[in-house]
Amino acid sequence: MRTTLFILMIILGAGLTGCGMGKDGPKESELALIQTTNPSPALLEKNTRANLDLMERIKKDVTDMKELYDVAIVKGKKDILVAYKVKHRYRFQMKKIEKKLNDKLEKKYPDEKFTVSSDYKIFLEAVKLNEKMKDPDFSNEKANKELKDIIKLKQEMT
């Protein structure tokens, strides 16, 4: 009986530690749909102080909305993608929330072009792009092309 229990513990232990997460743990994008990841805003162009301040202000404006709990922001040359998650109790008001957020951003930042989405797939793609940007071999051209693809995907979904 003890041997069976011991073998079972070894098998379970091996299964829990060997589930493909690597020694650094799971990536942010792997956890993005099941927990709050709160990724920092990604800039696909020059990291000027003005751009960084703009991204932080946008993130604060979005996270200040009581209906939202996680946001991923990616700024390209022309577009800013704002992907967010809605708290469960507000799920029936998603269209209203998207319109409210879009209006708020366009009013506060009239010179910027926003794409706003509450879709989980768009959120996940934004988090993945943010992760790729941390790799020094990932070029800005690739990043901007990927951002355009994500925005195109968002437009196709609506």
- What does the pLDDT profile of the chain (158 residues) look like in tens digits? 555 544 545 555 554 444 444 445 555 555 555 556 667 777 777 777 888 889 999 999 999 999 998 899 999 888 999 999 999 999 999 999 999 999 999 999 999 999 999 999 999 999 999 899 888 898 888 989 999 999 999 988 86
Beta bridge partners of 80: 75, 114
pTM for the model:
0.74
Angle between helices 120-133 and 140-157 (to 10 degrees): 180
Residue from 30, 34, 54 nearest 42 by CA: 54
Q: Report the alpha-carbon distance of residue 75 to residue 114 in Å, rounded.
A: 9
Angle between helices 49-63 and 94-108 (to 10 degrees): 150
- The first and second tokens of residue 30, run together, are 């792997």
Backbone angles phi, psi at 125, to 5 degrees: -65, -40
- Cα torsion angle, 115, 133, 126, 38, sign: negative
- The first and second tokens of residue 136, run together, are 């020094």
3-state SS, residue 73: strand
